Amino acid sequence: MKRSALLIFVALILILTATTTFKAASVETVSLWAMGVEGQNIGKLLPQFETANPGIKVKLQVIPWSAANDRLLTAVAGGTVPDLTQMGSTYMAQFTEAGALEDLTPYLAKSKTLKLNDFVEACTDLYVINGKPYGIPWYADTRFIFYRTDILEEIGYKNFPETWDEFIECCQKLRARGPEQYAVNMAAGNWQVTMNFIWANGARILDEQGRPAVTEDAFVDGVAWVADIFKNEYALLDTGGSNIRQDMASGR
């Protein structure tokens, strides 16, 4: 089942709920690309899905998130796209503009159980472009700050800092514990982590006309604040592949 466009479905939900019926003697093979841990776990669901749908065989390929964008671009350029793929919401504009995604309207119309209005609007908005849905939300991330309450209590904090000034003061005290004692893991190179702090400063990426707003004071000041975290070595710019869970456990 090769198509000229990538389809962004979630765990084959649309296939599962489509009205088409396959005969067991005629097996349709569907190629699915899934990324990271999600890809590893979705493989556990496929035997149950294939048992319930004997006319469909799913060929799964798990791809690391670090290689996902390049693999998809190469597939589009070479005409070797999968039938279904998991895709980060930040990829949508790029692949939609390239004409690589298929309008899911007719598939949703056939589904008796899957409706876009069943999802949080903030999520579906990421996949609806010019009034047409090109993807279905799977999950949404929420960012949290995890910290060692015992270590913060040692340096005089019963609760996590509530302002940027308090946060910097806390970082200074944590860093002063020793040469290998850093204050925070800022996931250098991960723009999503960085943007949380920049947005917290009231910044925006685009203005009302859709033009870049990265030269506005709120954005520039936010970037400078994040940069100072690394300049002052409150966080490591290069973690050297360290394990964040082990670092937290050791108090590093």
**Domain end residue (candidates: 133, 159, 193):** 133
Q: Are residues 104 and 162 in the same domain?
A: no
Find the CATH number of the domain harbouring 160.
Answer: 3.40.190.10
| Tens of pLDDT, residues 57-88 | 999 999 998 899 999 999 999 999 999 999 88
The total number of structural domains that make up the chain: 2
Structural domain contains residue 24: yes
| 5: in domain | no
> So what's the pLDDT on residue 3?
40
For residue range 10-62, list pLDDT tens digits in order.
434 443 434 344 444 578 999 999 998 888 899 899 999 999 999 999 999 99
| C-alpha distances out from residue 55 to 24, 28, 49, Å | 5, 6, 11
pLDDT value, residue 71: 93
Q: pLDDT tens digits for 198-224? A: 999 999 998 998 899 999 999 999 999
Question: Would you say residue 140 lies in a domain?
Answer: no
pLDDT tens track for 180-194: 788 888 777 778 788
Query: Domain range spanning residue 241?
Result: 149-250
The verdict on 183 and 111 lying in the same domain is: no
Share of the chain above pLDDT 90, in %: 43
pLDDT, tens digit (0-9, with 9 covering 90-100), for 87-111: 888 888 889 888 899 999 999 999 9
Does residue 195 belong to any structural domain of this protein? yes
- Residue 153 and residue 127 share a domain: no
